[in-house]
Amino acid sequence: MTATQTVIKSTHCHPEGKVPVLDHDGTLITESPAVVLYLSDLFPAAGLAPVVGNAARGSYLAWLAYSAVETAQASGGNLAHVTGYASKAAEQAARIAGVLTLWRDMGAAEVTAEAMAEGIALAQFYLGEAAPLAEAATFSAPVEQAETLRTWLLERWAYPEVTPREMDKQPLAA
């Protein structure tokens, strides 16, 4: 299959309204790293990337994952609120790949491309889990205000009861 034999259209909408999006013979491909990987695998003779089996494939996959995570950490990105974990995702993927390689062969001298791809997939899974956990761990402004009031009452209020009228007279400041 060559590039001239295949029609690749970018006319469909991304589920989240982003670009790029590719529709190749009914297969919808979204997200820049996925599009790059898809095209490089679809047209291996074009030399867009190391082919499967090439020793450089693992580094290539790591770079794709790294660039995607870096982009998602930007302001407004879907990982902007978990940058502490996200910034280490590529390193974690490499560590996971190393463990998987040694699990298969304790005498292995290098990480295989297959293990790197699996390490990236697992790191991305964990990264996907970190985002909802971080969101669940944040408190809304009213909850934070209620906690401030509760703490103030426990530490500074000298009486067993409290009424709203009394609260209006007492500032919450230290």
pLDDT at 15 (0 to 100): 62
Choice among 12-16, 86-90, 129-133 with the minimum mean pLDDT: 12-16
Q: What's the domain range around 126? A: 55-138
Q: How does the average pLDDT of the chain come out, rounded?
A: 79
Per-residue pLDDT tens digits for 15-56: 666 667 788 888 888 777 888 888 988 898 998 888 888 888
DSSP code for 101: H
Q: Please indicate, yes or no, whether residues 109 and 126 belong to a single structural domain of this protein.
A: yes
Per-residue pLDDT tens digits for 129-150: 887 777 776 677 788 788 888 8
CB 85 within 8 A of CB 127: yes
Q: What pLDDT does residue 1 have? A: 47
Residues 6 and 61 in one domain: no
**Do 128 and 86 share a structural domain?**
yes
Residues 65 and 123 both lie in one domain: yes
Nearest to 120 by CA among 152, 98, 151, 141: 98
- Record the pTM: 0.47
Is 146 found in the same domain as 134? no
**Are the beta carbons of 106 and 91 closer than 8 angstroms?**
no
Is 90 exceeded by the pLDDT of residue 106?
yes
Do residues 129 and 71 both lie within one domain?
Answer: yes
Residues 68 and 132 in one domain: yes
Question: Both 134 and 79 in a single domain?
Answer: yes
- As given in the structure block, the two tokens for residue 127 are 């990264």
Banded model confidence at residue 96, pLDDT cuts 50, 70, 90: very high
Residue 94 CB coordination number (10 Å): 21
| Pairwise pLDDT comparison (169 vs 129), residue with the higher score | 129
Number of domains forming the structure of the chain: 3
| Same domain? 112 vs 45 | no
Q: Based on the fold, state whether residues 61 and 41 are members of the same structural domain.
A: no
